Amino acid sequence: MSIEKIVEQALQDGYLTPAMEAEVGRICDTASELSIEEYMALDRLMGALLTGEVVAVPRKQFINVMEELVLTEAIARVAEIEATSDRTLDLGDIAAYALNRLPPLYATTEEGANYQRQRAKEELQALIAQQVGEAIARNLDRPEFFPERQVIGKSSGDEILTQVSALLQAYAPGYEQPTGPAN
């Protein structure tokens, strides 16, 4: 999406979302030079932000307390397993598996978060432990099918092109023909 379209959308909605802000930042970072239209759009956006016509939505106005509780449980259990064996477990996979099977506990204030923590300890602690246990069991039983997997957010554009090229070479070996002199 272009800067002009992002600014137009922000003016129409009255909000600049974190995703819109990130996209404007990405465009500005990657462009060698911005056009006059892009500068004018950014100037309009800045004016709208200053007057309150457009409101920048904070990056995170809420938390999911369940993430904190699952991570605490998973870290303790994974550390115990890794200390007593030669296995290395993927904490992110374990937490994601358990979180996908547990109810979210969102809060917007510290008081709300404390309430959710207390409620979860009283009503959901056994379920959290059960789901983390199942996640660990699945993680321990999983064969290394794809050791080249990459964590989200760790790949660059060049790495993606390399991966696509490797896939093409593996699944379509005759796809890329050597380039020679044109006939």
Please give the pLDDT value at position 170.
Answer: 60
Same domain, 82 and 49: no
User: Residue 70 contacts by C-beta under 8 Å, 6 or more apart in sequence?
Assistant: 95, 98, 99, 102, 128, 131, 132
Please give the pLDDT value at position 31.
Answer: 84
Residue 179 lies in a domain: no
Q: Tens digits of per-residue pLDDT, 65-101?
A: 999 999 999 999 998 888 898 888 888 999 999 999 9
Same domain, 137 and 67: yes
77 Ramachandran zone, left/alpha/beta (phi>0; psi -120 to 50): alpha
Quick one: CA dihedral 125, 127, 131, 136, positive or negative? Answer: positive
Same domain, 72 and 93: yes
Same domain, 36 and 69: no
Query: Domain range holding 70?
Result: 63-141
Q: Tens digits of per-residue pLDDT, 93-143?
A: 999 999 999 999 999 988 999 999 999 999 999 999 999 999 999 998 876
Residue 39 lies in a domain: yes
Please give the pLDDT value at position 127.
Answer: 97
Structural domain count, the chain: 2
Quick one: CA dihedral 93, 110, 58, 32, positive or negative? Answer: negative
Query: Above 60 in pLDDT, residue 174?
Result: no
Same domain, 67 and 118: yes
Same domain, 74 and 29: no
Please give the pLDDT value at position 144.
Answer: 64
Matching residue, tokens 């995170």: 60
